[in-house]
Amino acid sequence: MLVFEKVSEIEAHLNEKPNNESLGFVPTMGALHDGHISLIREAKQQCKTVICSIFVNPGQFNDKSDLDRYPRTPVSDKALLSSSGCDILFIPSEKEVYPGDPQAPDVNIGNLETTMEGQFRPGHFKGVMTVVNRLFEIIKPQKAFFGKKDFQQLAIIKKMAFLKNLPIEIVGCPIMREKNGLAMSSRNELLSKEERREAGNIHLILSQAASFSGKYSVIELKEWVIDQFKNQEHIKLEYFEIVGQDDLQPVMDLSKGSVIGCFAGYIGKVRLIDNIEIMVSHKS
């Protein structure tokens, strides 16, 4: 696996590659786990060359202490990537990514940006779009791979690529989970054993809710989920919303195709998100 830290060096390397060689890109913030590696594997299935970036982007942290606490494990990340078929690792400093002031892409993604995560993490998606757009400019991949765990992020990157007319296919990949159902996340490292055990209940509650979709209305489902989280010792629910897959706007009834139930909550100071697809089955 080749490793580049400098923009000029990775650009020079990529310029030497034949134009018809497909390039798959997996942007990450490191502290890699099997969720990230599943994206690398999918990229390797679809593309000749796979590039992973590791960059903890300060612009997307609305909470400075969250940025300071964010786990950083570059040595084990490199070993994991090179044993997983990744061809190139790009691990730049902040100065390399932003030699001047970060420039947000000039696109209006409307209320995709202001709902759910956007409401609770103001400025977060501006930061995400800024860094992804900058990394796309440097790497110019044919395909870029994002996890459905960050469902709103995936929708926003798709919209940004569409509005900017970028020649990049955005590929959404399934959520990888721990044995107890907890969605894999770099932040899970910050949980105690007991918290990690309880965090498995997030997926349990969401999947039970999804299985009730034929019996409950949206309001009833939401109330049921809120009640379940009240019974958890460590998990503090921030929001649970049931939204349309594409526009991410709250739905009022469950009869209009498949929708997503989105969760955000805290265990101690650690913020976790997860989601579940809710297939609509009609009341009998």
| Catalytic residue annotation | 36
Nearer to ligand AMP, 27 or 213 (CB): 27
CA–CA dist 189, 75 (Å, integer): 16
Phi-psi sector, 86: left (phi>0), alpha (psi -120 to 50), beta: beta
Q: How far apart are CA 23 and CA 15, in angstroms?
A: 12
Give the residue, chosen from 115, 133, 152, 185, that forms a contact with ligand AMP under the rule CB under 6 A.
Answer: 185
| Burial class of 252 by CB neighbour count within 10 A (0 to 12, 13 to 18, 19+) | exposed
| Among residues 7, 10, 29, 218, the one that binds ligand AMP under rule CB under 6 A | 29
Number of residues that bind ligand AMP (CB under 6 A): 17
Interaction between residue 173 and ligand AMP (CB under 6 A): yes
Q: Is 170 in the site for ligand AMP (CB under 6 A)?
A: no
32 and 40 in contact (C-beta within 8 Å)? no
Q: Is 44 in the site for ligand AMP (CB under 6 A)?
A: no
131 or 209: CB nearest ligand AMP: 131
Q: Does 158 bind ligand AMP (CB under 6 A)?
A: no
Sole window of 114-122, 175-183, 216-224, 265-273 interacting with ligand AMP (rule: CB under 6 A): 175-183
**Interaction between residue 133 and ligand AMP (CB under 6 A):** no
Q: Is residue 7 within 8 Å of residue 51, measured between CB atoms?
A: no
**Of residues 64, 45, 89, 111, the one with CA closest to residue 244:** 111
- Distance in angstroms (rounded) separating the CA atoms of residues 205 and 259: 16
Instruction: Give the interface with ligand AMP as residue ranges (CB under 6 A).
Output: 28-29, 35-36, 38-39, 146-147, 149-150, 173, 175-176, 183-186
